[in-house]
């Protein structure tokens, strides 16, 4: 019997799967057995090796899978916002939080470019901490050693994604955290020179120092919340749930319904008005999208 190895999918090129071996860090180009329906970046797989190439025999069940771009088994999403150039509005931030909030992971928010603003910004954005999100206020450009060490501890041993609008500082931060990441990128593309990529997909970079799988940032600077149903959006505003029991109707959508616990909580400032406004805007967007 040939030996079976366990690895993780870093990148997919047409029908070629680039796998990094969990034990040896060896990067192997694999094919998949026909019976396997679908493999996505981030999948943990078992493969056997014939000379230089591998053959994937099994895909482990996924813990989760991000949509667009698809990445499986993500342990932590960091949503990066910036205080200035560009100013990220609450609605924009909420869209990212909704998009990446699922039952297995809750994003950590990094408020970046703190060097460009005063302390008021920290006060204004504290509402996210009060909602239960882990928040950090940083300056990627002048990242302190303390923040660098702390953030590295947050990514160690994990598959991570840095998401956020274009220009918020994702690449700047990644370069500060993983100065060696670029080398890895070159290494992978060198191996794949022969293959021509046709599908637009993300890639994972393996960073051995911290044992981190880092998703490529392109593709994570936009989110499309119309991918979700209204019901899903409602559930992703997790702060609503504790007030929902005060709603007259069990299936209340907190819109035009009378005696709504969520709307009462907004009126009483227990739920930030900006969050509720974001919710209304998203519901409106989904309804308009449906009509088209």
Ligand X SMILES: Nc1nc2c(ncn2[C@@H]2O[C@H](COP(=O)(O)OP(=O)(O)OP(=O)(O)O)[C@@H](O)[C@H]2O)c(=O)[nH]1
Output the CA–CA distances (angstroms, integers) from residue 26 to 20, 57, 172, 199, 256, in the order listed.
6, 18, 28, 25, 57
Contact of residue 272 among ligand X, Zn ion, none (CB under 5-8 Å per partner type) = none
Nearer to Zn ion, 141 or 277 (CB): 277
- Determine the angle formed by the axes of helices 273-291 and 119-131, rounding to 10 degrees: 70
Q: From the list ligand X, Zn ion, none, pick the one residue 252 interacts with, judged by a Cβ distance below 5 to 8 Å according to partner type.
A: Zn ion
Does residue 16 belong to the site contacting Zn ion (CB under 5 A)? no
Give the count of alpha carbons within 13 A of 139, CB side only: 10
Element (H, E) at 278: helix 273-291
Compare residues 223 and 252 and give the one whose CB is closer to ligand X.
223
Nearest to 79 by CA among 154, 143, 164: 164
- Beta carbon nearer to ligand X, 69 or 167: 167
262 binding partner (options Zn ion, ligand X, none; Cβ < 5 to 8 Å by kind): Zn ion
Alpha helix stretches (DSSP H) within 53-169: 90-100, 119-131, 145-155
Measured CA to CA in angstroms, residue 147 lies from 153, 245, 285 at distances of 10, 40, 37
Residue 112, interface with ligand X (CB under 6 A)? yes
Site string for Zn ion, 222-261 (x = CB under 5 A): -------------------------x----x-x-----x-
Q: 């799967």: which residue's tokens? A: 17
Verify binding: residue 171, ligand X, rule CB under 6 A. Answer: yes
Question: Token pair for residue 28?
Answer: 């192997």
- Minimum CB separation from ligand X for residue 55, in Å? 36
Instruction: Please work out the total of residues on this chain that contact ligand X, with binding judged by CB under 6 A.
Output: 17
Residue 92 binds which entry of ligand X, Zn ion, none, with Cβ cut-offs from 5 to 8 Å by kind?
Answer: none
Which residues make up the interface to ligand X (CB under 6 A)? 112-113, 115-116, 139-141, 164, 166-172, 217, 221
Which residues make up the interface to Zn ion (CB under 5 A)? 247, 252, 254, 260, 262
């Amino acid at each position: 019997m040939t030996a079976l190895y366990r690895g993780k999918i870093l990148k997919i090129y047409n029908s070629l799967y680039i796998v990094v071996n969990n034990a040896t860090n060896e990067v192997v180009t694999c094919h998949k057995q026909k019976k396997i329906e679908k493999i996505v970046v981030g999948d943990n797989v078992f493969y056997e090796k014939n000379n230089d190439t591998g053959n994937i025999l099994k895909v482990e069940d996924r813990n989760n899978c991000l949509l667009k771009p698809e990445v499986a088994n993500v342990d932590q999403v960091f949503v990066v916002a910036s205080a200035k150039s560009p100013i990220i509005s609450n609605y924009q931030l909420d869209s990212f939080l909704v998009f990446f909030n699922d039952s297995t992971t809750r994003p950590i928010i990094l408020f970046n470019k703190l060097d460009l603003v005063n302390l008021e910004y920290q006060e204004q954005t504290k509402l996210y901490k009060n909602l239960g999100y882990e928040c950090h206020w940083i300056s990627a450009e002048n990242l302190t050693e303390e923040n660098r060490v702390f953030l590295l501890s947050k990514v160690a041993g994990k598959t991570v994604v840095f998401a956020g609008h274009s220009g918020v500082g994702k690449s700047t931060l990644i370069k500060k955290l993983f100065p060696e990441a670029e080398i890895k990128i070159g290494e992978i593309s060198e191996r794949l020179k022969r293959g021509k990529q046709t599908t637009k997909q993300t890639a994972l970079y393996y960073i051995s120092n911290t044992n981190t799988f880092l998703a490529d940032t392109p593709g994570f600077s936009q989110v499309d919340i119309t991918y979700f149903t209204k019901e899903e959006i409602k559930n992703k505003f997790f702060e609503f749930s504790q007030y929902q029991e005060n709603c007259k109707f069990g299936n209340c959508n907190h819109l035009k319904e009378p005696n709504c616990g969520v709307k009462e909580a907004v009126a009483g400032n227990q739920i930030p008005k900006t969050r509720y406004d974001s919710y209304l805007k998203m519901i409106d967007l989904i309804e308009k999208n449906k009509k088209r």
